[in-house]
């Protein structure tokens, strides 16, 4: 949703103050008997009402991004997603799968049938045929936070002889780059900070001495009814140095109930982030027990 918001802002489909009156049930394709629903409507029967992009990111409103994705088109959406590294090699020094970037090309190349307008709006919220690994998603968010510059991921920093002599040192390499306007980046950051300040993760990160940004995620596992929940966070929010993505596969096996989404792993992200904060010069004044109880 963050990447779709970026593309829509860059392409002039929306501006920061563009308001969409979300109604819970998306009826644009009603004549085709296709009326997808926002997660909030499915859980409560309510809608997010009239909202702009910052709140739509903060609340992860499906309806908002259904409409934005429809206007953006799958072709333009995937043009940006490729730059973000979604469906692309990360560069890590290990065998990896590049995942799937949903779209007509993937369907045609694999004999999976025709792409429909309904597929486009599902792709706009990260669903449809999309499949990405955690490192790709971290790299995609990092590229946005870097102002459009995506670096190849790597594990190896340097190699030294037992004497200390430097044999090899890895230099950062740029995998792709696009120019992200500063005001658009500020808008996206505002939405992701809102997740922590006012959204579902607010109670978990409320005691921090440093500003943190983030985004929840919920991925359907086909027709099984199972899901994968995820939570991405980065700090400091204004000038990020670290990014972290946690995922939990089929959480119903742990909880025995259908979870509310990526916010269920937010407490663990908060605890890990607290361990990292001293490396950023921040000494938290709360304990792990206090974080977990929150």
Whether the pLDDT of residue 260 is over 60: the answer is no
Stretch 124-139: mean pLDDT? 93
The pLDDT of residue 191: 95
The pLDDT of residue 274: 83
Q: Which residue has the higher pLDDT, 102 or 282?
A: 102
Q: What Cα–Cα distance (Å) separates residue 94 from each residue in 2, 98, 130?
A: 28, 12, 22
pLDDT per position as a tens digit, 14-67: 999 999 999 999 999 998 899 999 999 998 999 999 999 999 999 999 999 999
pTM for this predicted structure: 0.89
* CA–CA distance, 100 with 133 (Å, rounded to integer): 10
- The DSSP output letter for 275 is H
Whether the pLDDT of residue 76 is over 80: the answer is yes
pLDDT per position as a tens digit, 144-165: 999 999 999 999 999 999 999 9
The pLDDT of residue 254: 58
The pLDDT of residue 275: 85
Stretch 220-232: mean pLDDT? 82
The pLDDT of residue 2: 96
* CA–CA distance, 137 with 64 (Å, rounded to integer): 21
Most distant pair of Cα atoms in the chain: their distance? 73
């Amino acid at each position: 949703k963050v990447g779709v918001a970026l593309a829509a802002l860059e392409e002039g489909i929306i501006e920061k103050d563009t308001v969409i009156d979300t109604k819970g049930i998306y009826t644009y394709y009603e004549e085709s008997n296709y009326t997808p629903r926002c997660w909030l409507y499915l859980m409560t029967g309510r809608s997010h009402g009239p909202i702009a992009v910052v709140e739509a990111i903060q609340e992860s409103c499906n309806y908002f991004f259904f409409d934005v994705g429809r206007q953006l088109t799958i072709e333009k959406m995937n043009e940006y997603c490729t730059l973000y590294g979604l469906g692309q090699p990360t560069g890590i020094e290990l065998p990896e799968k590049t995942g799937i970037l949903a779209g007509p090309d993937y369907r045609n190349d694999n004999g999976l049938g025709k792409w429909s307008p309904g597929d486009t709006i599902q792709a706009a919220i990260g669903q449809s045929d999309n499949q990405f690994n955690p490192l790709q998603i971290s790299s995609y968010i990092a590229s946005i936070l870097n102002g459009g510059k995506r670096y190849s991921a790597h594990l190896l920093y340097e190699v030294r002889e037992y004497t200390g002599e430097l044999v090899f040192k890895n230099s950062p390499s740029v995998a792709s780059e696009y120019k992200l306007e500063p005001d658009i980046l500020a808008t996206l950051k505002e939405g992701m900070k809102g997740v922590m300040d006012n959204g579902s993760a607010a109670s978990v990160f409320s005691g921090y001495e440093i500003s943190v940004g983030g985004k929840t995620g919920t991925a359907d596992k086909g027709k099984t009814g199972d899901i994968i929940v995820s939570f991405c966070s980065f700090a400091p929010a204004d000038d990020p140095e670290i990014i972290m993505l946690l995922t939990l596969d089929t959480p119903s096996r742990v909880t025995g109930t259908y979870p509310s989404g990526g916010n269920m792993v937010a407490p663990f992200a908060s605890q890990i982030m607290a361990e990292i904060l001293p490396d950023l010069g921040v000494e938290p004044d709360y304990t792990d027990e206090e974080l977990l109880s929150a």
